[in-house]
Amino acid sequence: MGARRSPSPHLSSVLSPVLGENRVLKGYWLDLGLMPYLPAFAIQEQVLQARMEGRLPATIILQENPPTFTIGRAGSRDNLLVSPEELRQRGIEVLEVNRGGDITYHGPGQMIASPLLYLGDLGLNANQYLHRLEDLLIELLAGYGIQAGKKPDYPGVWVSEAKIGAVGIAVKHGYAFHGFSLNVAMDLRPFNWINPCGVPQMAVTSLEQVLGRPIPLAEVKARLRQIISDMFYLDLGDIAWADLQAIAQSA
């Protein structure tokens, strides 16, 4: 398990008061790499079920997806601005999923993180937890010298008027799943083919675009791992999917 450090002043200001330095949750860091959305979500569902049955501890799942549009529970295909034929030609899937929110785009160079956490351990309700994820992204971007913020009516994280990170969660029996994404170094053009989050002509940006230089995704993941460990008092160990599956089946 990785070493922990004291949270930054920003994180200290948003941590739930029920958590403390002596209450560290052991957990796993599972990086799936580049994987199609549906197989990756099937893994997430298996981990969620094992979490709810007490067979696995807190688990953070990382992934990238091939080009995919996902439509959340509040979404509509009306916010898809290109024809199904054009999408087929471009090799882009369109999937309706059970997270909150509307339509968004996933593609290579975007970091997707799904913390499978029990909200009772955190002392948070679903809305508070969603805002913690926004705080987490803001802290991550601050580490690159980027001042990001929130918009009252729209979940996610923004740099000026451009959205850089999306947040969409679901909760089942107190266990949170889905999570957030951060545009790191990706092709942003597909966002022009939708109304992102259901908002026409919403501007979208990426970490690479804001900084004007290449950003290794592995570096961003490492920074995220430290921040998420600090925010939720987690002690995370690396694990492969086959090993995690074996642990869940043997429990």
HSE at residue 121, side-chain half, CA atoms within 13 A, is: 19
Determine whether 197 is an active site residue: yes
56-93 burial, b at 16+ Cβ within 10 Å, e below that, comes to: bbbbbbbbbbebbbbbbeebeeebbebeeeebeeeebb
**Catalytic residue (one of 61, 117, 124, 197):** 197
Q: Are 107 and 186 in contact (CB under 8 A)?
A: yes
Cα-to-chain-centroid distance, residue 124: 18
Distance CA 45, CA 1 (A): 24
Distance CA 183, CA 28 (A): 23
- Helix H or strand E segment including 46: helix 37-52
Residue 203: both structure tokens together? 């501007």
- Cα–Cα distances in Å, from 13 out to 172, 231, 234? 27, 10, 17
Cα-to-chain-centroid distance, residue 69: 15
Catalytic residues: 197
